[in-house]
Amino acid sequence: MVMACRVINKRRHVGLQQLSSFSGTGRTFLGPVKSSKFIVDEERHESILISSVVRLLESLDLTSAVGQLLNEAVQTQNNTYKTGTSTLLFLVGAWSSAAEECLHLGVPISLIVSVMSEGLNSCIEEVVSLQVPIHNIFDHIDSTKTFSGLETCGVSLCPFLQIPSDTGLQKAHDLKDVASPSLTIYNLSGIPVRSPKLFRPQAEDEANKNTLQNPQTLKKSLLADSRCRKSILIHSRHFNRTDSNRWINKPEGFLEQHGAATPRTYRCNDLVELEMGLSHGDHNSMKLVDAAVRLQFQNASTQQGNCTIPFVFDISRIFTCCLPGVPETFSCVCPGYITVVSISNTTLIKELQNQPVQIILIEGDLTENYRHLGFNKAANINTLLESMKVQQYSSEEQWTDYVLQVLIKFNVNLVLVQGNVSEDLIEKCMHSKRLVIGSVNSSVMQAFAEASGAVQVAYITQVNENCVGSGVCVTFWRSIPSDVIDRINILTIMIKTEGINLVTVVLTSPLPAQMQAREDRFWTCAYRLYYALREQKVFLGGGAVEFLCLSHLQILAEQSLSKRNHVCSGWLHNTSSWLASSLALYRSTVLKCLANGWHKYLSALMYNTANCSSELGASTVIQQHLQSATDSGSPSSYILNEYSKLNSGIFNSGISNKLEQIPSVYDIVTPKTEAWRRALDLVLLVLQTDSEIITGLGHTQINSQETEGFLFL
């Protein structure tokens, strides 16, 4: 177990400090360029390379109540969406610090909870303007244009948040990150080439240094360094706005944007563009996702024929087969079910591969003592031996012989079991030229049931001729060098039948410590695409959404501050109403603290992506753009306008002609906003359940002190 070390000040809110401490351990996982961590198991003397929050928390000591709440929130996010955990963990820390700051400034806990909740809800409403609709993306899919067929560049941020990269300012841990997908790009031939974003000529680096040192040219360089986007800005409701029509008040003191301009939006109708925007620099994983989607699309088109049923990406019919110790060149996508068996089955597979075999499906364990869930053993039953003759065989052996007789009777050579399988049964079946495979996913079982006609049963005693499927083929997956097979000591086989709706993604890695991280990255990309297609919308990514939240909250805070000054100016004339006006007095403070969390998020994102040499430098860049966004009259129109300018090619003069264009960066909508909600909900839960701050004073004394301080404002 790894301890999250940080000095806890017991005179302040302990729970919020613990959240900040846990959050700091995953800071380097934010953004597309992740600095991996080695976790060493002292008991097993094994190590694993991790680059995700989920794997990190599995290795941390989370025995405290706060740690368990954090782990539950992260696990729920991961189990539901398979993405957004890094954002969740970082915002938990950032907003914990924000809540601590509010407490330090004397803001009542009830107001912190209400204003932060309303502020986040207002942000989620505001970022709707940055959604990109996706419609009928499979209606005009180009089979000749694939993700792997495009030369892709490294990671990218929101256009106006990018600054010229300087090789001399790259963080050492980014360049040494063996698991970072952004340092290598792939062209059609699959040969790795250097990313033009992270590796630039020395002359250009010197020019970038001079630009950074010259504030007059900083803003131009920010735009010039960004690449063209493929999406075309058609219309936006935030354009053509006058200064007098910027903001109006909502009933609860928050603001709403209004404009009379015709709505304008981005559109994404190309699968490859969508995949590249959602890859977030991990092009190798998204290439496999693209191949799996196209294979499903091809199978669906073949089965439907002239039917016009819309294609739906079914992620439940995609599986991974991990082969540690195998070169990465063996990674691929194949139809059917690919799995590993003992190398002792080599002879058996050779005999089965040239003939169609019959199959049965067992949905429970295939063991003598297995009973289905809910089984109640009959009571008050005693078994008496009819003969005193000593039995020659044990009950296990008798059961094994019975199973074998059933398989012989129905001429079954392949058994797929969802649960565990008796080792003795596997051994006997192998000698009888029958293959038994356990721990098979339920969706795999269902796919074989649909394609082969087999019926799943709970017990071997339920098998009859109507439960047996046919037409299944078993063969070796592909030729792997003998030295590799001897090293991994497993055999990879493929099981398929005609018309099966099943795709297996084979993931390989020469370093076993990287295998888990590689599988996690694949599923992250797969679920990003799945939810984008399911919701038919995405966000403009690369920090654009978070930047809009930051600027929106700052404007809300300024408006609340103006209202606060107005309340304070008339407060002495009606001192009995001070409790009713406390919300207006503290609203600006809480909103600024909440916005500071977004500021920290963007600073860390830019720093981790190697766009800035320090978080302080990133903060300065963000502050400059915040001022520009505020001056423009609407932060959302500022963001959309910058994207539009880049798409039109106006600010591309400073980019080398040899650099390929990068498509827009996209984020999925619901998983992102749910990560925000879970992060804030966790912070507010800890804030309220551990609300008695240890200051050496009782709760009554604290309240009276807060009241006294408020009366002398």
* 284: in domain: no
Look up the domain containing 324 and give its range. Answer: 297-370+395-536
What pLDDT is stored for residue 616 in this prediction?
A: 87
> Could you tell me if 512 and 556 lie in one domain?
no
Closest-CA residue to 14 (of 693, 696, 695) = 693
Among 193, 291, 325, 302, which residue's Cα sits nearest to residue 525? Answer: 291
Give domain status of residue 213, yes or no.
no
Tell me, yes or no, whether 446 and 586 share the same domain.
no
Say if residue 360 is in the same domain as residue 500. Answer: yes
Q: Model confidence at 182, in pLDDT bands (50, 70, 90)?
A: very low
Interior CA angle at 120 toward 116 and 126, to 5°? 145
- 245, part of any domain: no
pLDDT at site 143: 59
Residue 46 lies in a domain: yes
Helix, coil or strand: residue 494: strand
Q: What is the pLDDT of residues 353-369, one digit of tens each?
A: 988 999 999 998 999 88
Q: Is the distance from CB of 700 to CB of 707 less than 8 angstroms?
A: no
- Give 440-487 as a 3 state SS string: CCHHHHHHHHHHHCCCEECCHHHCCHHHCEEEEEEEECCCCCHHHHHH
518/628 same-domain check: no
Q: What is the pLDDT of residues 493-507, one digit of tens each?
A: 999 999 899 999 999
| DSSP type of residue 524 | H
| Per-residue pLDDT, 255 | 41
Q: What is the pLDDT of residues 155-181, one digit of tens each?
A: 556 655 655 433 333 333 333 333 333
What CATH code is carried by the domain that includes residue 24? 1.10.560.10
Same domain, 545 and 498: no
Residue type, 682: L
Task: Kindly state the percentage of the chain with pLDDT values over 90.
Answer: 44
Per mean pLDDT, which range of 121-125, 381-385, 655-659 is the poorest?
A: 655-659
Domain boundary among the residues 481, 515, 536 is at 536
| 471 and 525 co-located in one domain | yes
Q: How far apart are CA 172 and CA 168, in angstroms?
A: 10
Average pLDDT, the chain: 76
**Residues 461, 332 within the same domain:** yes
Last residue within a domain, chosen from 485, 505, 536: 536
Q: Do 428 and 519 share a structural domain?
A: yes
At residue 73 the predicted structure's pLDDT band, cuts being 50, 70 and 90, is very high
Evaluate whether 419 touches 399 at the Cβ level (below 8 Å).
no
Q: What is the pLDDT of residues 315-346, one digit of tens each?
A: 999 999 999 989 999 999 999 999 999 999 99
| Residue 290 belongs to a domain | no
Is the model's pLDDT at 446 over the cut of 70? Answer: yes
With a pLDDT cut of 70, the percent of the chain lying above it is 67
Quick one: average pLDDT of 175-190? 32
Count how many residues are written for the chain.
Answer: 713
Number of domains composing the chain = 2
